[in-house]
């Protein structure tokens, strides 16, 4: 009995060892695919592989043969051919690219893809002895090479087409309607035009950061992360792999990108005009989720003052925009309160919106935060539904980089959820709601919404919301509870707290075919409700928000058609006090108002079709921070 147990134990050990060896690939055995019988695999130590003029040294790995085909170690063959290779472990898939060719093949799969077209393989790629082996003839021919086999000398020779490369300094390229000027000349390589990456990025309006480490380039553009490497036919866009037809190269220590790569990785289109010999590239700004309104050069009719609007909600508005320019004169200490909103409420809940706009001129990186302090001695409050958006810019493109994205995101209902570590605030406790860093010489704009609820205790809620700033790296932002810094009256940007954040105005009825009429929105006189007198507290420390920054402005336009025919009524926007930009929501969605020159340009918002009778056009507008008000709104009949 004891002898039988020993025999059984020995058999179990042997079987386990065989299974382990097979699973680790240490026996010479590999599957071709699930449907075919397993072929035998043999080492071929004496085979010679030559690529161009170079003989490949396979070091400690050697080619193998199976079903009459030679397979070689993946990395050695690709490096010899000047191709780049990437391995995706989860799907066990190989991605490789060279020049204008890309291949994709998976372990034990009978098909592969060349430039995304399916190709049947004689033998699949396989793992042998912990090495990934690829079919030699397929790889050579897939990269446009000629593969020759000499059976007498056991030599495989792969001849690759030589690259044809030359500089083309007079190449004409226009990017987003701007003609590019090249310090590093473009090149043409194998029939494709390559442009200096730095020139492309410099020509893009807005917030673009990039750095190069070895052969990898990382770009942050308008909140989108783009990572790619020279020689690889894909880019990682916000962590997702996006394949491209061509790939970037390095030339004279500069990164050059094919025109098609620019449009595929950054988003956009390109076309060549034969008559002018000009290539036009249009890149869609990824930060914008919606479309720009079309604009035209014309002057709208002189606007009338808009009828006095009214605040139609109870979402308290806090505006932190003064001092807008943060300097050693306006910021007297390393830790300060920029603005605050003391609240005493008998309600069980209170809605809030906080809008901020500041420029860091202090010469160092800052920390800026929205905090809330529970001043009640017995009530526990809770922060509910905190959402927001923060944008920053290192240059003067405040409209495109910061103002428009805030307005577009707000009107589109696409504020991001912000996690609060401890949403319940005990009596006497202060917590941080939203915190971010601001680089030197950067503009930051932010808009946050949340609700404060009384979840425990009776009596009034008492709390203070603050925007605070620290110049210290290790500061406790929740500990900053000083009185707000003094107003910068040399630069009278708005600051204050008001009882609502949504305005509504109803215009006079418009008669179709009665000619054009226009109104002045946010003119600072007839529709200025956000004054120091109307502020909730600290009147002496308040500057009016006559431009309605951070405010949602709703407009109703009654339309009457007594003509007996269908009419089209057009609504257009135009700048009246300076460069204007913002976002508008109609029944067709949210649209962006491009920057408009006052008295010269208008953007067409919508065309409203109306039959005989009456109707109402409803709009919702948010002015972009950085825009000059007032906004001109013109109503006219097209036909």
- Please tell me the predicted confidence (pLDDT) of residue 18: 39
- Residue 19, φ and ψ in degrees, nearest 5: -60, -45
Contact of 402 with 444, CB cutoff 8 Å? yes
Per-residue three-class SS string for 191-226:
CEEEEEHHHHHHHCCCCEEEEEECCEEEEEECCEEE
Instruction: Parse the chain into domains and list their residue ranges.
Output: 1-29, 42-160, 165-287, 295-308+503-637, 315-495
Q: Taking the domain 42-160, which CATH number applies?
A: 3.30.457.10
pLDDT number for residue 30: 35
Which pLDDT score, from 0 to 100, does residue 35 have? 34
Report which of 605, 624, 626, 501 is spatially closest to residue 552, judged by C-alpha positions.
501
Closest CA to 103 of 90, 93, 113, 89: 113
- Rounded mean pLDDT, 289-300: 85
* pLDDT confidence bin for 519, thresholds 50/70/90: very high
**What's the confidence (pLDDT) of residue 487?**
96
Distance, in Å, from the CA atom of 477 to the CA atom of 309, rounded to the nearest integer, reads 38
Average pLDDT of the chain is 85
**368, 491, 509: which is closest to 433 by C-alpha?**
368
What mean pLDDT comes out for the span 420-426? 92
Ranking 259-263, 414-418, 460-464, 607-611 by mean pLDDT, the lowest is: 259-263
Query: Quick one: 538 exposed, middle or buried, by C-beta within 10 A (0-12, 13-18, 19+)?
Result: middle
pLDDT (average), residues 444-448: 96
Q: Give the distance from CA 375 to its chain's centroid.
A: 39
Contacts 24+ apart (CB under 8 A), 411-417: 411/552, 411/583, 411/584, 411/585, 411/590, 411/620, 411/622, 412/289, 412/290, 412/583, 412/585, 412/590, 414/289, 415/387, 415/388, 415/389, 415/447, 415/448, 415/449, 416/387, 416/388, 416/389, 417/386, 417/387
> Over the stretch 390-413, which tens digit does the pLDDT of each residue have?
988 764 457 777 898 999 999 999
The pTM assigned to this predicted structure is 0.60
Question: In the chain, what percentage of residues exceed pLDDT 90?
Answer: 43
pLDDT (mean) for 121-144: 86
The token pair at 506 is 């109803």
* pLDDT, tens only, 255-266: 988 887 777 777
Calculate mean pLDDT across residues 580-603. 91
165-287: what fold? Copper Amine Oxidase; Chain A, domain 1 (3.30.457)
pLDDT tens per residue across span 526-552: 998 999 999 999 888 999 999 999 999
Tens-digit pLDDT profile for residues 230-288:
877 778 865 667 667 677 888 888 898 888 777 777 766 677 777 777 888 877 554 56
Residue 204 pLDDT class (50, 70, 90 cuts): confident
Question: What DSSP letter does each residue of 229-242 carry, written as one string?
Answer: ETT-SEEEETTEEE
Task: Give 485-510 pLDDT, tens digit per residue.
Answer: 999 998 999 999 999 999 999 999 99
């Amino acid at each position: 009995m004891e002898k039988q147990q020993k025999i059984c134990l020995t058999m179990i050990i042997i079987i386990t060892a065989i299974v382990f060896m097979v699973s680790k690939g240490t026996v010479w055995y590999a599957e071709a695919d699930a449907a075919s019988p397993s072929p035998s695999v043999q080492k071929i130590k004496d085979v010679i592989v030559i690529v161009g003029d170079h003989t490949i040294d396979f070091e400690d790995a050697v080619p193998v043969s199976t079903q009459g085909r030679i397979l070689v170690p993946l990395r050695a063959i690709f490096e010899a051919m000047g191709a780049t290779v990437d391995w995706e472990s989860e799907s066990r898939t190989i991605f490789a690219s060279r020049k204008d060719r890309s291949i994709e093949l998976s372990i034990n799969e009978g098909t592969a893809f060349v430039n995304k077209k399916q190709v049947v393989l004689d033998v699949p790629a396989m793992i042998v002895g912990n090495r990934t082996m690829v079919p030699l003839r397929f790889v050579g021919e897939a990269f446009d090479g000629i593969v020759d086999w000499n059976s007498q000398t056991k030599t495989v020779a792969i001849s690759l087409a030589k690259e044809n490369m030359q500089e083309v300094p007079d190449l004409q390229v226009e990017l987003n309607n701007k003609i590019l000027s090249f310090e590093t000349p473009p090149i043409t390589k194998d029939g494709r035009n390559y442009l200096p990456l730095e020139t492309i990025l410099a020509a893009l309006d807005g917030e673009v950061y990039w750095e190069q480490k070895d052969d990898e380039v990382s770009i942050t553009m308008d909140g989108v992360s783009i990572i790619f490497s020279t020689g690889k036919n894909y880019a990682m866009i916000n962590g997702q792999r996006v394949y491209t037809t061509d790939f970037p190269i390095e030339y004279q220590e500069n990164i050059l990108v094919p025109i098609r790569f620019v449009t595929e990785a950054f988003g956009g289109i390109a076309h060549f005009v034969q008559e002018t010999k000009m290539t036009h590239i249009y890149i869609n700004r990824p930060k914008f989720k919606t479309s720009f309104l079309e604009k035209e050069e014309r002057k709208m009719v002189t606007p009338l003052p808009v009828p006095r609007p009214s605040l139609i909600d109870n979402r308290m508005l806090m505006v932190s925009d003064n001092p807008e320019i943060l300097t050693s004169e306006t910021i007297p200490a390393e830790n300060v309160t920029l603005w605050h909103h003391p609240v005493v409420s008998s309600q069980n809940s209170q809605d809030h919106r906080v809008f901020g706009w500041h420029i860091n001129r202090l010469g160092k990186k800052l920390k800026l935060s929205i905090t809330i302090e529970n001043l009640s001695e017995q009530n526990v409050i809770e922060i509910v539904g905190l959402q927001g958006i923060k944008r920053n810019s290192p240059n003067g493109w405040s409209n495109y980089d910061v103002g428009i994205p805030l307005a577009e995101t707000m009107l589109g209902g696409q504020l991001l959820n912000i996690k609060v570590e401890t949403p319940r605030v005990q009596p006497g406790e202060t917590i941080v709601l939203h915190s971010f860093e601001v680089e030197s010489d950067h503009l930051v704009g932010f808009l946050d919404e949340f609700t404060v609820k009384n979840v425990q205790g009776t009596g009034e809620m008492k709390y203070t919301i603050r925007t605070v700033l620290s110049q210290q790296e290790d500061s406790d932002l929740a500990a900053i509870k000083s009185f707000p810094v003094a107003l910068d009256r040399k630069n009278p940007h708005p600051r204050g707290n008001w009882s609502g954040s949504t305005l509504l105005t109803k215009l006079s009825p418009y008669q179709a075919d009665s000619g054009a009429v226009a109104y002045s929105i946010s003119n600072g006189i007839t529709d200025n409700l956000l004054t120091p007198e109307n502020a909730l507290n600290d009147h002496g420390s308040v500057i009016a928000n006559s431009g309605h920054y951070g405010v949602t402005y709703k407009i109703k336009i009654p339309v009457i058609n007594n003509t007996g025919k269908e009419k089209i009524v057009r609504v257009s926007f135009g700048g009246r006090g300076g460069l204007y930009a913002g976002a508008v929501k109609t029944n067709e969605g949210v649209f962006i108002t491009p920057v408009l020159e006052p008295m010269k340009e208008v953007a067409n918002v919508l065309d409203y079709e109306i039959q005989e009778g009456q109707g109402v056009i409803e709009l919702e507008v948010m002015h972009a921070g950085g825009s000059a008000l007032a906004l001109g709104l013109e109503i006219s009949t097209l036909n």
